Chains A and B, each alone.
Chain A
């Protein structure tokens, strides 16, 4: 069945790079997403990657996709305290329902 796995916690120092990893089982995911959930706020799309891409860069964010290993990562450069949040990896299959399958989320703590 469909499954998305993430490590649950990550702690970094302000200014360092953060790398959040995700593995998935459903290879038919056309797009893979990273969502951010800040305390008391709703989920917000942070970035996404199309399945035929290896890498996508967007300012401080770099997404790497290894389709062979079904591994997705999100790198945040120069991590700031405002980046402290829960980061969810999600994928969907190409079916019409478009439902997202979610990881449990990685809680990122940025220490000053």
Chain B
């Protein structure tokens, strides 16, 4: 079945370069989330989309991080001028949920970003 997919699965980049991470949510899921999982830090919320708009960007760590979503589907997380502390696994999740009802978040396999 078609789950959440992310690409690339691994990305190694040099400090100072820009990277783009892609998420393809489950078809029909209106909500999309980006999280970051760092060693010893657990999961950290980055940004939430409902449709194409992002009502909550509170988790983005700095202005080097940005994300967009188009057509209510694919989302791209962009990190500019990468730093070594950006190294982590970036996880995307999607959900059918609206409002305050129960909504399981379905996770993609993640993109492992390594900044040298």
Is B109 touching A41 in the complex (CB atoms < 8 A)? yes
Given contacts A43-B107, A45-B104, contact A102 B43 (CB under 8 A): yes
**In the complex, which residues of chain B have a beta carbon less than 8 angstroms from the beta carbon of A30?**
100, 102
Interface residues on A, range: 20 to 34
**In the complex, which residues of chain B have a beta carbon less than 8 angstroms from the beta carbon of A52?**
none
**In the complex, which residues of chain B have a beta carbon less than 8 angstroms from the beta carbon of A90?**
43
Cβ-based interface call for B62 (8 A): no
**In the complex, which residues of chain A have a beta carbon less than 8 angstroms from the beta carbon of B70?**
none
Is A42 touching B91 in the complex (CB atoms < 8 A)? yes
Q: In the complex, which residue of chain A has the Cβ closest to the Cβ of B45? A: A99
**Given A30-B102, A100-B45, A102-B42, 17 other A-B contacts at CB below 8 A?**
A42-B4, A44-B107, A48-B102, A50-B102, A88-B43, A90-B43, A95-B100, A96-B50, A97-B56, A98-B48, A98-B95, A98-B97, A98-B100, A100-B43, A102-B43, A104-B41, A105-B42
Q: Which residues of A contact B (CB under 8 A)?
A: 30-31, 41-45, 48, 50, 88, 90, 94-105
